Amino acid sequence: MEPYRSWVPWMSGLGDGGRLLYSVVRMTRPQTIVEIGSARGFSTCALALACAENGSGTVFAIDPHLTNDWTDVGTQGKTFDFLKARLAEYQLESQCSPIRETSAVAGAAWSRPIDLLFIDGDHTKAGVTGDFESFAPWVREDGLIIVHDTGWEREGPLERHAGESWYRADMAVPAYMASLQEQGYQGATLMPEPGLTILHSRPNGFDFLRRRPALDDDGDRKSGSIRP
Ligand SMILES: C[S@@+](CC[C@H](N)C(=O)[O-])C[C@H]1O[C@@H](n2cnc3c(N)ncnc32)[C@H](O)[C@@H]1O
């Protein structure tokens, strides 16, 4: 349907991940969403569209929009203009606040709780580690973290793609996800490549008993009492 039916040259590797981002926002109704890595804005618009349809929520879209070898192939470095034009065309400007900074700069100034964090920025070890460590502590206990490009090595070592135009020897997202897994972070990864992982915001997941009625010592439910 209009205004979304025209084919748009997003030049994005997100693919059907855009539908997943949209769906998670529709289901969980986050108020504060932080996106690291907007590029031309496919993920940004998917998140903002869901906020618009929820009737609330803001996407803080962090990206310096500087030309880089990895993502700007064919975009002439004009990702910011493209993103702004899409937000205007789809009337999503009130759902999105672009922050034209690196995540390190934006992270140093960040000071509010986050309901949904989406990481798709600098995929090097220093980059993804810095993004997680700067922003994950701000994610609410019952919030979610979604990371893109997590499954590059699921089918075998990344080096098998050496020589392909998009190959990057410094891609470190899968290894970083393995380290989070070792720390106890739980999540679900959607494949095929390049993988999109939804994580609990804390190691060892949610406390599933937190909202259940409290039990007496002998195991009976206390009438009407709910644990805080
Ligand atoms: C894979 S693209 C993002 C794709 C986008 N999410 C989509 O749906 O098409 C990665 C983006 O991260 C941005 N980026 C690179 N380093 C960054 C940093 N330090 N902080 C924030 N964004 C960064 C790049 O400018 C690029 O636009």
pLDDT at 217: 64
**pTM here?**
0.90
71-77-81 Cα angle (round to 5): 110
Atom of ligand 1 nearest to the CA of 65: 25
State both tokens at 37.
């890595």
Flag whether pLDDT at 44 surpasses 70: yes
Mutate to test the pocket of ligand 1, among 49, 120, 193 (most ligand atoms within 8 A of CB): 120
**pLDDT band of 191, cuts 50, 70, 90:** confident
Let me know: does 42 contact 20? Beta carbons within 8 Å. Answer: no
Work out the mean pLDDT of the chain and round it to a whole number.
88
* pLDDT, tens digit (0-9, with 9 covering 90-100), for 70-129: 666 666 668 999 999 999 999 999 999 999 999 999 999 999 999 999 999 999 999 999
- Check residues 181 and 166 and name the one with the higher pLDDT: 181
d(CA 74, CA 85): 18
**pLDDT band of 219, cuts 50, 70, 90:** low
User: Residues lining ligand 1, CB < 6 A?
Assistant: 10, 12, 14, 36-40, 42-43, 62-65, 68, 71, 79, 102-103, 120-122, 127
Partners of 62 in the beta sheet?
36, 99
Nearest CA, atom 15, ligand 1 = 122
DSSP 220: P
pLDDT at 228: 42
**pLDDT band of 227, cuts 50, 70, 90:** very low
Mutate to test the pocket of ligand 1, among 40, 79, 122, 166 (most ligand atoms within 8 A of CB): 122
Mutate to test the pocket of ligand 1, among 22, 63, 67 (most ligand atoms within 8 A of CB): 63
d(CA 181, CA 173): 12
